[in-house]
């Protein structure tokens, strides 16, 4: 089986950033994108091409537009190498600082909570803007200064006292950053080259941004991040659609995909014959980045949920449309009422009006819209009323009678003067709607439960301001047709796998890593716990950049730690396995190399489309979390000294709690590689992987190596012990060992919970084996406990791989309960 360091699913603003950052750092990266690659000149324009520019492989369609229709909302998203950047309107606004709300009550329960701040994202906003190359519309330069829709929005805002601005756009108006804006001239090539290999030209103001820029003037992701990723060795695979994902025993993930094989080009012949694809194929990885878009990522996680036991119940929640609202100003002119607005001239969006937040804090943006010139003909044709047609027929009849063969005037009258198309201005609203929608599966298909009702006040306010803008421009206001039935049309669906501070609040943490599944990341709009308010592309990219910084920082930390291991320890922790991150973005070193295709760890449990190849052994694993307090120094003395001196700090980085101890916690994946061997051997030893967390050690630290022994004989007759030995390095690179045991003592059954949930632990200097405990220096000692809620969650994490999974779980349970009966049963 093919194995790489990282697989990135999708190539939009999250996936492209991740591909570049990880490849630049030297990781082997494969990007799986379901859609095609589109070079400048490849985007469809003619009727035959546009008619096939949609995504439905079952019907032989492999185009850019993927249109979703649910009961109360519709969406348009993209399919292609570069994701949404191929068809978005280039706006790169930052999320307002005041919109990073925390625990804001929502109608019907729940809340919107952002575990990141504007300060967290600002350096990553900077990095993305530099990489993509953003600039405001050059309204003051010749050739651009006559853009009437921009001037009209500016004048309307001034009259209404609104905050008008020129937002940053990902468009090349000049051939190089320090050159003067000029239309239709060659763009200077980037140092990393261009994956399409062809020339690019600056913006011609043709209004075709949303249907793909055939000049290459858009600084879309294929021209920027993806070209740079390929330059650094990333393998970009278009027309590869991911169908399944699942964890691997011992760490990492398997990704199953099919490869689409369209017939011909984007023409009518493309659909001749049945659609074709090959597969399923499987690739494994240490890290898996899900960036298939809000719908794609949420659908993958929902569809494969059985393979991810313990996945947060927040999956599918916090859905919203980022406040998207489309309306039209018909027969609009500038403030002088003398010049019709030509919305087809310029990029799709050139300017924005920022509405204040109001009493409810739900501010918004209103942006001018545009469209290609050929849409003008569609608009005029659609409004060619019966009067104009009847007049043409009567005049044509008169010409026949009078032998007048000149039809020029009649045809000119039939076409009209273009009053509607030349004076129509789309307005695009977006802002802070209520993220109380839910994504779910219905008959195996993705469905959305969400309406505009809870956001009605927000939408009414945006529509009212749009009407006032129309009044200033002497225009007629018209809602988009879907709004007539209160249906929201969004091009910015968000949520479904929201980030949060803990699994009860979100699916992933503030760095996009899925709770409970180290190395699995969400890096697209699905991770957002609420609306961005502004156009979300820049924020999604900045979050992905922040995610990658954490991955690479912790990877470097663990790699440095691995170099300090003894020869025996280093052999147990291969470098490739050592770079596997844990649930918060820190590293969780795996003590085994990536599984080969014929290994018993080649597939994790879960739904499978094809038989997996296993050896005779069956594996079992589960996740355990414990937390508590450790006191400085050895047991007994530590408690006395702490009581004598109050709550003294140990080191500048450590802070004692009010209870006089240092909080300490760990999260372990306990893996039994061979259940038969485990039950037969008296040591009943399993592997422990994961992390510890303590200020005393510099925060969350990955394990270098760990072991767990279940029900081994204790020091007294009838006693059983559960032993834990966890080796790690603190933040200063010093080796540390957490040695702990649960003591199962004979006695009344009421002791069962106390004994099995209490771990007596000592934090030792160095990496200490069991026979060295008494000679080791004790840094701290105390007790850790498992909470009832953690126990319930642990019971949901039991998983197996191998030929006898159900039997293995049953045998393990019989062994576990049998040992407890031996200790606590009537005797």
Structure confidence at residue 375 (pLDDT):
57
> Which of the four pLDDT bands, split at 50, 70 and 90, describes residue 59?
confident
**Residues above pLDDT 70, as percent of the chain:** 79
- Cis, peptide link before residue 280, omega less than 30° from 0: yes
- Which of 104-118, 183-197, 537-551, 571-585 is least confident? 571-585
pLDDT band at 790 (very low <50, low <70, confident <90, very high): confident
Query: Which pLDDT does position 457 carry in this prediction?
Result: 92
- The whole-model pTM stands at 0.69
Give the residues across from 739 on adjacent strands.
Answer: 725, 762
Least confident of 182-196, 258-272, 290-304: 258-272
Task: State the pLDDT at residue 46.
Answer: 80
Lowest mean pLDDT among 197-211, 332-346, 516-530: 332-346
Q: Is the pLDDT of residue 758 over 60?
A: yes
What is the Cα Rg of the chain in Å? 31
- Rounded Cα gap, residues 761 and 738, in angstroms: 7
pLDDT score at 741? 92
Tell me the C-alpha distance between 364 and 463, whole Å.
11
The answer to whether 75 and 55 have CB atoms below 8 angstroms apart is no
Query: pLDDT of 767-785, one tens digit each?
Result: 999 889 989 999 999 999 9
Q: What is the pLDDT of residues 205-227, one digit of tens each?
A: 999 999 999 999 999 999 999 99
C-beta separation of 32 from 16 below 8 A: no
pLDDT band of residue 745 (cuts 50, 70, 90) is confident
CA distances from 481 to 325, 327, 405, 487 (A): 11, 9, 42, 9
pLDDT average, residue stretch 11-16: 98
Residue 290 has pLDDT above 60, yes or no: yes
Q: Edge-to-edge strands of the sheet including 352-355? A: 163-165, 352-355, 364-368, 425-431, 325-330, 476-479
Question: What is the mean pLDDT of the segment spanning 657-665?
Answer: 70
Torsion over CA: 506, 509, 514, 515 (sign)? negative
Are 7 and 27 in contact by the 8 Å Cβ rule? The answer is no
List, in sequence order, every residue forming a beta bridge with 241; answer none if it has no partner: 258
pLDDT digits 0-9 by tens, 239-259 = 999 999 999 887 899 999 999
**60: burial class by Cβ within 10 Å (0-12, 13-18, 19+)?**
middle
**Short-list 222, 180, 224, CA closest to 202:** 180
Look at residue 657 and tell me whether its pLDDT is greater than 80. Answer: no
**Pair type for strands 619-632 and 778-785:** antiparallel
Residue 346 has pLDDT above 50, yes or no: yes
- pLDDT bin (cut points 50, 70, 90) of residue 315 is very high
Q: What is the pLDDT of residue 446?
A: 94
Instruction: Note the pLDDT of residue 645.
Output: 38
Average of per-residue pLDDT values in the chain: 82
Whether the per-residue pLDDT at 411 is higher than 60: the answer is: no
CA neighbours within 13 Å on the CB side: how many for 643? 5
Question: Of 27, 80, 37, which is closest to residue 555 (Cα–Cα)?
Answer: 27
- Catalogue the E-assigned strands of 361-437: 364-368, 425-431
Q: How many CA atoms lie within 13 A of 735 on its CB side?
A: 16
More confident call, 332 vs 238 = 238
Interior angle at CA 819, CA 815 and CA 822, nearest 5: 140
Indicate whether 591 pLDDT > 60: no
Instruction: Tell me the pairing of strands 699-713 and 720-729.
Output: antiparallel
Look at residue 452 in the predicted model and tell me its pLDDT.
84
3-state secondary structure of 783: strand
Q: What is the pLDDT of residues 686-697, one digit of tens each?
A: 999 888 999 989
Residue 278 pLDDT: 87
List the beta bridge partners of residue 693.
665, 700
The pLDDT of residue 400: 63
How far apart are the C-alpha atoms of 582 and 589, rounded to whole Å? Answer: 8
Any idea which residue has 């406040």 for tokens?
Answer: 323
The reported pLDDT for the residue numbered 660 is 58
Q: Which range (80-94, 341-355, 498-512, 636-650) has the least confidence?
A: 636-650
Q: Quick: pLDDT tens for 255-283.
A: 999 999 887 644 444 445 555 788 899 99
Highest mean pLDDT (candidates 71-75, 199-203, 378-382):
199-203
**C-beta neighbour count of 112 within 10 angstroms:** 24
Q: How many residues does the chain have?
A: 827
Residue 824's pLDDT is: 60
pLDDT tens digit sequence for 90-109: 999 999 999 999 877 776 66
Coil, strand or helix: which one is 651? coil
CA dihedral (548, 553, 555, 556) positive or negative: positive
The Cβ of residue 170 has, within 10 Å, a number of other Cβ atoms equal to 27
Model confidence at 659: pLDDT above 70 = no
- What are 540-582's pLDDT values in tens digits? 999 999 999 999 987 765 444 444 443 333 333 333 333 333 3
Q: What would the mean pLDDT of 187-213 be, rounded to a whole number?
A: 94
Region of residue 10 (left: phi > 0; alpha: psi -120 to 50; beta: else): left
Determine the Cα–Cα distance for residues 307 and 311; give it in Å rounded to an integer.
9
Give the pLDDT band (50/70/90) at residue 378. Answer: very low
Whether residue 455 has pLDDT greater than 80: yes
pLDDT value for 788 = 76
Helix and strand numbers (H, E) in the chain are 19, 31
Q: Return the pLDDT at 705.
A: 87
DSSP at 812: H
């Amino acid at each position: 089986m093919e194995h790489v360091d990282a697989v990135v699913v999708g190539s939009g603003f999250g996936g492209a950033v991740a591909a570049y950052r990880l490849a630049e750092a030297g990781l082997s990266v494969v990007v799986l994108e379901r859609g095609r690659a589109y070079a400048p000149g490849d985007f469809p324009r003619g009727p035959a091409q546009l008619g096939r520019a949609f995504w439905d492989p079952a019907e032989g369609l492999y185009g850019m537009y993927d249109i979703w229709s649910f009961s109360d909302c519709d969406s348009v998203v993209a399919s292609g190498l570069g994701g949404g950047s191929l068809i978005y309107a280039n706006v790169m606004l930052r999320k307002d600082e005041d919109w990073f709300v925390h625990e804001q009550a929502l109608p019907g329960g729940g809340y919107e909570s952002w575990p990141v701040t504007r300060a967290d994202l600002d350096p990553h906003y900077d990095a993305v803007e530099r990489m993509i190359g953003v600039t405001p519309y050059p309204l003051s330069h010749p050739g651009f200064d006559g853009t009437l829709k921009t001037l009209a929005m500016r004048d309307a805002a001034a009259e209404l006292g609104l905050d008008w601005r020129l937002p940053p756009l990902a468009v090349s108006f000049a051939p190089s950053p320090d050159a003067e804006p000029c239309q239709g001239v060659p763009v200077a090539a980037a140092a990393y080259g261009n994956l399409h290999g062809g020339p690019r030209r600056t913006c011609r103001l043709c209004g075709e941004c949303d249907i793909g820029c055939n000049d290459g003037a858009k600084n879309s992701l294929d021209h920027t991040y993806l070209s740079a990723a390929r330059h650094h060795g990333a393998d970009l695979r278009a027309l590869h659609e991911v169908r399944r994902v699942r964890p691997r025993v011992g760490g990492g993930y398997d990704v199953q995909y099919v490869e689409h094989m369209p017939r011909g080009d984007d023409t009518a012949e493309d659909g001749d014959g049945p659609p074709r694809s090959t597969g399923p194929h499987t690739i494994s990885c240490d890290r898996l980045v899900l960036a298939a878009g809000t719908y794609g990522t949420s659908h993958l996680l929902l569809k494969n949920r059985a393979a991810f036991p313990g996945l947060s119940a927040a999956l599918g929640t916090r859905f919203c449309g980022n406040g998207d609202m489309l309306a039209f100003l018909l027969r609009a002119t500038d403030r002088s009422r003398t010049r019709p607005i030509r919305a087809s001239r310029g990029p799709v969006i050139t300017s924005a009006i920022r509405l204040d937040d109001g009493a409810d804090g739900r501010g918004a943006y209103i942006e001018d819209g545009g469209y290609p010139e050929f849409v003008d003909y569609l608009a005029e044709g659609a409004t060619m009323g019966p009067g104009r047609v009847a007049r043409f027929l009567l005049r044509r009849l008169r010409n026949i009678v009078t032998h007048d063969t000149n039809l020029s005037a009649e045809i000119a009258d039939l076409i009209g003067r273009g009053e509607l198309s030349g004076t129509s201005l789309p307005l695009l609203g977006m802002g802070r709607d209520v993220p109380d929608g839910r994504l779910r599966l219905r008959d195996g298909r993705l469905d959305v439960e969400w309406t505009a009702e809870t956001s009605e006040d927000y939408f009414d306010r945006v529509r009212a301001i749009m009407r006032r803008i129309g009044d200033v421009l002497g225009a007629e206001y018209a809602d988009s047709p879907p709004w007539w039935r209160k249906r929201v049309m969004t091009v910015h669906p968000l949520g479904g796998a929201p980030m949060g501070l803990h699994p009860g609040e979100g699916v992933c943490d503030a760095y996009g890593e899925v709770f409970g599944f180290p190395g699995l990341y969400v890096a697209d709009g699905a991770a957002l716990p609420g609306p961005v308010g502004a156009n979300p592309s820049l924020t999604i990219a900045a979050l992905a950049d922040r995610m990658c910084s954490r991955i690479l920082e912790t990877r470097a930390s663990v790699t440095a730690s691995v170099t300090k291991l003894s020869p025996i320890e280093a052999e147990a922790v291969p470098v490739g396995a050592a770079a596997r991150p844990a649930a918060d973005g820190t590293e969780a070193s795996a003590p085994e190399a990536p599984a080969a295709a014929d290994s018993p760890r080649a597939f994790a449990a879960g739904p499978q489309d094809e038989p997996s190849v296993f050896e005779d052994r069956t594996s079992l694993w589960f996740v355990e979390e414990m937390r508590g307090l450790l006191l400085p120094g050895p047991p007994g003395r530590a408690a006395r000294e702490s009581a004598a001196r109050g709550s003294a700090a140990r080191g500048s980085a450590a802070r004692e709690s009010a209870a006089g101890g240092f909080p300490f916690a760990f999260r372990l994946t306990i893996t039994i590689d061979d259940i038969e061997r485990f039950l037969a051997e008296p040591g009943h030893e399993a592997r422990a992987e994961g992390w510890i967390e303590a200020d005393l050690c510099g925060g969350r630290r990955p394990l270098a190596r760990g072991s767990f022994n279940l029900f081994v004989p204790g020091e007294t007759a009838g006693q059983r012990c559960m032993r834990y030995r966890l080796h790690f390095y603190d933040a200063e690179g010093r080796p540390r060992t957490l040695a702990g045991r649960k003591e199962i003592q004979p006695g009344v059954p009421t002791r069962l919970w106390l004994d099995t949930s209490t771990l007596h632990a000592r934090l030792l200097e160095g990496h200490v084996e069991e026979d060295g405990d008494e000679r080791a220096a004790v840094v701290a000692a105390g007790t850790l406990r498992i909470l009832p809620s953690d126990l319930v969650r642990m019971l949901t994490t039991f998983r197996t791989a191998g030929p006898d999974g159900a039997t293995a779980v049953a045998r393990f349970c019989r062994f576990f309960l049998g040992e407890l009966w031996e200790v606590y049963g009537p005797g």
